Chains A and B, each alone.
Chain A
Amino acid sequence: MRYHPHTEGDVREMLEAAGAKSLDDLFRSIPAPLRLSRPLELPPAADEVTLLAELRRLAARNDVEHPPFVGAGAYPHHVPPAVDQLLLRGEFFTAYTPYQPEISQGTLQALFEWQTFVCLLTGLEVANASMYDGATAMAEAALMATRVTGRSKVVVSAAVHPEYRKVLATYLRSSGDRIVTVPYGADGRTDLAALKAAVDQETAAVLVGYPNFFGVVDALPEAAAVAHAQGALCVSVTCEAVALGLLQGPGALGADVAVGTFQSFGNPVSFGGPAPGFFALREEHLRQMPGRICGATVDKQGRRGFVLTLSTREQHIRRERATSNICTNAGLCALASTIHLALLGKKGLAELARVNYARGRLLAEAMERQGCPSVFSGPAFNERAFEVGDAEAVVERLAARGIAAGAPLARFYPDDPRLKGALLCVATELHDPELIDLFAKAVRS
Chain B
Amino acid sequence: MANPTGWKPDMEKGAASAARDEVGLGHATRGLAFEEGLLFERGSRGRTGVSLPKRGSEADPARELPAELLRPEVDGLPEVGELEVVRHFTRLSTWNWGIDTGFYPLGSCTMKYNPKSSEALARLPGFAGAHPLAHPSMAQGALELMYRLERALSEISGFDATSLSPAAGAQGELCGMMVIRAWHTARGNPRKKVLIPDTAHGTNPASSALNGYEVVPVKSGEDGRLHPDAVRAVMDEDVAAIMITNPNTLGIFETHIAEIAEIVHAKGGLVYGDGANMNALLGVARPGDMGFDVMQFNLHKTFATPHGGGGPGSGPVAVKAALVPFLPLPVVAREGERYRLVTDPAERPQTIGKLREFWGNFGMFVRAWALIRELGPDGLRSTAHLAVLNANYVRALLADAYDLPYGTDSLHEVVFTDKNLKPTGVTTMDVAKRLIDHGFHPPTVYFPLVVHGALMIEPTETESKETLERFCAAMRAIAEEAATSPEAVKAAPTKPVRARLDETRAARKPVLRWTPGMKVE
Contacts and interface: CB of A to CB of B under 8 A. Distances in A.
Nearest to B100: A90
17 contacts: A27-B253, A27-B388, A40-B155, A59-B125, A73-B358, A86-B86, A91-B94, A91-B97, A98-B310, A110-B89, A163-B354, A271-B139, A273-B364, A297-B503, A330-B167, A330-B312, A345-B79
Interface in B123-137: 123-135, 137
Contact of B362 (A111, A270, A311, A325): A270
B501 to A, nearest CB: 5
A421 interface: no
Contacts of A166: 353-354
Most chain B beta-carbon contacts within 10 A, residue among A169, A324, A400: A324
A120 B77 contact: yes
B482 interface: no
A333 B372 CA distance: 24
A163 B52 contact: no
B349 interface: no
Given A40-B380, A274-B167, A29 B408 contact: yes
Interface in A275-307: 286, 292-307
A70 B134 contact: yes
Contacts of B396: 17-19
Interface in A88-122: 88-107, 109-113, 115-117, 119-121
A331 interface: yes
Given A100-B97, A135-B356, 13 more contacts: A23-B389, A42-B372, A60-B141, A63-B137, A89-B89, A92-B89, A101-B501, A112-B513, A116-B38, A286-B510, A319-B215, A342-B88, A343-B48
B269 interface: no
Given A331-B308, A339-B85, A39 B130 contact: no
Contacts of A244: 74
Interface in A8-37: 10-11, 13-15, 17-20, 23, 26-31, 33-36
A39 B377 contact: yes
B436 A100 contact: yes
B53 A221 contact: no
A248 B70 contact: yes
A398 B356 CA distance: 28
Interface string B74-106: 111111101001101111111111111100101
A89 B461 contact: no
B289 interface: yes
Nearest to A424: B133
A433 interface: yes
Given A309-B506, A349-B77, A167 B357 contact: yes
A320 interface: yes
A54 B1 CA distance: 69
A353 to B, nearest CB: 9
A55 B283 CA distance: 23
A229 interface: no
Contact of B127 (A169, A270, A350, A362): A270
B131 A68 contact: yes
A272 B357 contact: yes
Interface stretch (A74-82, A151-159, A180-188, A199-207): A74-82
Contacts of B76: 116, 120
Contacts of B283: 36, 39-40
Nearest to A86: B89
B129 to A, nearest CB: 4
A48 B464 CA distance: 21
A163 B389 contact: no
A246 B409 CA distance: 61
A332 B512 contact: no
A323 to B, nearest CB: 9
A321 B39 CA distance: 37
A349 to B, nearest CB: 6
A99 B71 CA distance: 39
A399 B135 contact: yes
A175 B210 CA distance: 7
Contacts of A334: 309
Contact of A106 (B92, B167, B386): B92
B356 A328 contact: no
Query: How many of chain B's residues touch chain A, expressed as a range?
Result: 35 or more
A127 interface: yes
B403 interface: no
A386 to B, nearest CB: 16
Most chain B beta-carbon contacts within 10 A, residue among A57, A62, A129, A322: A62
A134 B132 CA distance: 15
Given A272-B359, A346-B79, A359 B57 contact: yes
Interface string A369-386: 000000000011000000
Contacts of A198: none
A264 B202 CA distance: 33
Closest 8 CB pairs of A and B: A331-B309, A272-B358, A90-B100, A45-B376, A59-B126, A272-B132, A61-B141, A343-B49
Given A106-B94, A273-B362, A331 B310 contact: yes
Nearest to A433: B56
A368 interface: no
A441 to B, nearest CB: 17
A269 B132 contact: yes
A221 to B, nearest CB: 7
Contact of A407 (B88, B89, B133, B444): B133
B57 A433 contact: yes
Contact of B65 (A59, A320, A379): A379
B353 A272 contact: no
B20 interface: no
A174 B185 CA distance: 11
Contacts of A439: none
A154 to B, nearest CB: 15
B422 interface: no
Contacts of B366: 55
B210 A56 contact: no
B79 A339 contact: no
B47 interface: yes
B93 A44 contact: no
Most chain A beta-carbon contacts within 10 A, residue among B85, B314, B512: B512
B404 interface: no
A412 B285 CA distance: 43
Interface string B241-279: 000000000001101011000000000000000000000
A52 B116 CA distance: 11
Contacts of B98: 89-95
Contacts of B207: 325
A40 B464 CA distance: 26
B55 A355 contact: yes
Contacts of A339: 85, 89
Contacts of A97: 109, 309-310
A148 interface: no
Interface string A419-443: 0000000000100110000000000
Contacts of A46: 373-374, 376
A47 B376 CA distance: 10
Contacts of A347: 46-48, 73, 79
